[in-house]
Structure 1
């Protein structure tokens, strides 16, 4: 026993000496203790929302040296709570629930793990160690609505589930279109999930058959079904890519891209937690954050947005960023 105790003391003394000599960096040791988990409502192999969450996790690993883990889940609140508890009980400092649907489970679990930060995507909450990270998608969708009303005759919006972030995005689109033409017709439908690509495709085709010539799907993993319908309907039906580039799915229909570099935004929030200065309120990314939100036009397609409309959209975007236009008013 004495020999073992002596060996342990010698080992500790050696480690301490190496640290003093600069051979073991304290920041590296700290980084190895910092762990982040991710909960996604589907597969990270799919382009779109789930992949964005995974990219955020990898960004934290690459830039902060954190240990990371993720779990793919179905739409089951009980599994959400279990996954949060599993990570928190294993000492994970940060857990990102990638979607508004994770909020209730996080609030329940957070009470038992006050030293863990629960980040919730697409949420406006801030209660203790539960912090919402919300990209104001109503802002870029407002710009899409302006373009649709100027270039089209009728629009269609296909959503996954009727939850606040998607409702907010669609409100922005409708407000943008109505700012151009108060009587511009817009149809709206929800498929009730984020995985059924066939349902998203059928909803989009139904809208197109009723005269919609500008269609935007917003249904996470199921979104690709909407773009398939748009592509199959010919170049007269137009859209914008959202979150990821779907140009290969609908090469003759995409007018441009709205991309949120949400991943880097998450990295910066996690960095603040890592450094001991966590956010004191919910985080909202918008057009004022050009490193996070990008809205660009496409020039290599059969149809493009005319220069005069682009200039007008740029002026509107600047006003939104300055807080002069409220985009999500119901």
Structure 2
């Protein structure tokens, strides 16, 4: 039995308000921390300006590879063969759109439109995105489990006041209680459809290899970008340690619905690197460099590609 149309719209609006509210709080918190630690941020920017150009070039190359890995994973989430060049362009455009809307809505909208233009129904297109997201989260957790034994004691939870824990738990419980009851029937149907898609894809070994290979490569290449930047600014951490810290920070930041992880990922990376014993200026330079290569430099070209794809009716 489906929910009445009059109920679905208020639920969607409540969900959007919660999502926007949490994202706004995270962004304001990040701005507050940046303002409070502005000398370290400024020093980090200066340090990045004189960083090793060779390592930064390696980081930029790895950043380019993330879009190819994303395209491979997206192809793996669909049984039908997709047009390769347009698929790669769509992933580049989606990464730019992802930094304008919260919680992956920009990338999701671009990819759904692309898949629909390729002939997939709307439901199947949304299911393909869910399959890709599930594979990406699983791949990140698998890499975490693989690297954690090589860096014992590196991942330490910071001390959080009990009051803050209680407040966060209360907000989470209230939000879940408000959304769970009306959304559960639709979530159950969506989960059933996603599981059916996963079974169909794994019946095709080539698609399964593309899905998991692309997902693993995407997470590993993002970790490599941060590793290259830390080498460029002479951060006193081993590459495996940096990769593990990135995977942990990105997994935590994925729970917060900010545009492209802006604010949430920056804060999580800064916290993880600082907890590992790195100075504030070095941490600031590493986070700024990572964001420069993965967000700010590709942003305008990505938006231009997005405009071209829309103009040519590829989206």
Q: Same fold (TM over 0.5)?
A: no
Identify, as 1 or 2, the structure richer in strand.
1
Structure with the larger RCO, 1 or 2 (CA within 8 Å, 6+ apart): 2
Q: Please, what TM-score do these two structures have when normalized by structure 2?
A: 0.29
Larger Rg: 1
TM-score (structure 1 length as normaliser): 0.28
